[in-house]
Structures are given as structure tokens and as C-alpha cells.
Amino acid sequence: MKDLIRRILKEEVETKTKVLIYIYFCDHKDKNFREYVNRFQNMDINFWVKPGKGHHRGFSIQSILDTDDMSEAKMIARDISRKFDDNILIVLSKQKVSNIEPVGQNNEEVFVKPGRKFDKLVSKKEKGIYIV
């Protein structure tokens, strides 16, 4: 919290239009859990903020991509999905956001709609790429 306050006071917080990304890889008990964590950690993805925990049911992340171009975000999402044999869920949403880290401390309303959609899709065990 102190780091957040320091950043705000130093005016390091920026607000820009970017693409939110939510990814659900697998449940905690999934046999691929450790492999998926390792595979993701070795990926080179251009995030605007460091990924944070995305869902309580398993290995997932939420973050903000360093792009405002939805076509580029879709290509990034397709590349990520292919590396996991298209067996994961990705939700994208273009929004005006801040670069506050961790991403979970962004209390902006723009996270609500895509976050709720993500939660519903995770509950239904959906896979694929969705745009909100």
C-alpha cells in the first residue's frame, strides 16, 4: 500500500486505453497445473502491469496488455491459447485503465463487466477467446 501511495504522489500512475486480459488455465487439482504454471511463466507477453490472480478456482491471471489495439490483443490471445492446445479461457476487454499494480488494486468500474463475464465462463468450464 505504501508503494501505491508513493507512486500516486510521484504521479507515476497513468491512465490510458488498453486491453484487459483474463486467462483461466485450469483447476487447482488439474493434472496439468504445474506444467501450465511453468509454461506461462516462460512466455514473453507484453503486459502493461504485472499479472495478478484472476480466479479462486484454479490457475488464472488478470492483467492489462500494453496495447489499445483489439486486433493485436486477439493475436496475442490466439498465440497464448495455442501454446495451451486451445484448452484455456481468455476474456479481452478494451477499457480506459490505470497502471496501478497489482492489477487487483485497480478499483475501476471498467473491471466489473469483463470480470463478471469471466467468472460466469469459468463456472461453465468454457474454453476459447471472448471479447467483452
pLDDT digits 0-9 by tens, 12-64: 889 999 999 999 999 999 999 999 999 999 999 999 999 988 667 889 999 99
- DSSP secondary structure code for residue 56 in this structure: T
To 5 degrees, how large is the angle CA 30–CA 62–CA 121?
60
Domains of the chain are: 14-131 (3.30.70)
Residues 110 and 37: their CA atoms lie apart, in Å, by: 27
Q: What is the pLDDT of residues 72-82, one digit of tens each?
A: 999 999 999 99
Q: What is the pLDDT of residues 94-111, one digit of tens each?
A: 999 999 888 877 778 899
At 118, phi and psi to the nearest 5? -60, -50
60: how many CB neighbours lie within 10 A of its CB?
Answer: 21
